[in-house]
Amino acid sequence: MPLRSPIESHIRRVIMFSQQEKFRLMLANRKILLICSYADEVKDAMEKDLKNNVEFDIVGTIIIEEFEDIPRVKEELIRFDFDLCLLAAGINAVILAPYIAKTYSKVAFDLGLGMESLITRHIEFVGYLERYIALDLLMKM
């Protein structure tokens, strides 16, 4: 029996490849805040790999490792002036994204494992994506 996972959670893993132009437009001229356990690495990679083609400013990074970090993350958010927040924090992103949207009236986009793709420049996926969903179909969405 195939895994029943929302397809949108898988689209987030490939959006920077499948919808490259739209993804770049989303970043264009934005002040971006990154939230994940490896946010500093993502910042370095984005500034190295994407800034040649898209103008944006990464205004900060916030590290989150576990659920208990959420109160600290919420406190740190106050320090940043941002337009777009990119998150990869597992289930914690489900809590933080709507909090950011409601509290700050900002877009908070949970990239999930797709955040790693900003570092590696290739699709990060586990075998079931290919087995049950078919990566080639996912890339067409």
pLDDT in tens, 55-97: 999 999 999 999 999 999 999 999 999 999 999 998 899 999 9
pLDDT at 4: 41
Task: Name the H helices within the chain.
Answer: 7-18, 20-27, 39-49, 70-77, 91-104, 114-120, 127-128, 135-139
Mean pLDDT of 101-129: 81
Closest CA to 109 of 98, 119, 118, 117: 98
Question: Tens digits of per-residue pLDDT, 1-36?
Answer: 344 444 445 556 666 767 778 889 989 999 999 999
CATH of 7-132, one of 1.10.12, 3.40.50, 3.40.720, 3.90.79: 3.40.50
Q: What is the DSSP letter of 122?
A: S
Average confidence score pLDDT of the chain = 83
Give the pairing of strands 107-110 and 84-88. Answer: parallel
Dist. CA 128–CA 80, nearest whole Å: 38
Could you tell me if residue 29 is left (phi over 0), alpha (psi between -120 and 50 degrees) or otherwise beta? left
Q: How far apart are CA 107 and CA 111, in angstroms?
A: 12
Range 112-140 average pLDDT: 66
Please tell me which residue, 81 or 135, carries the higher pLDDT value: 81
CA distance 125 to 56: 27
**pTM, 2 dp:** 0.81
Domain ranges of the chain: 7-132
- Per mean pLDDT, which range of 11-25, 40-54, 69-83, 103-117 is the poorest? 11-25
Distance of alpha carbon 57 from alpha carbon 47, whole angstroms: 9
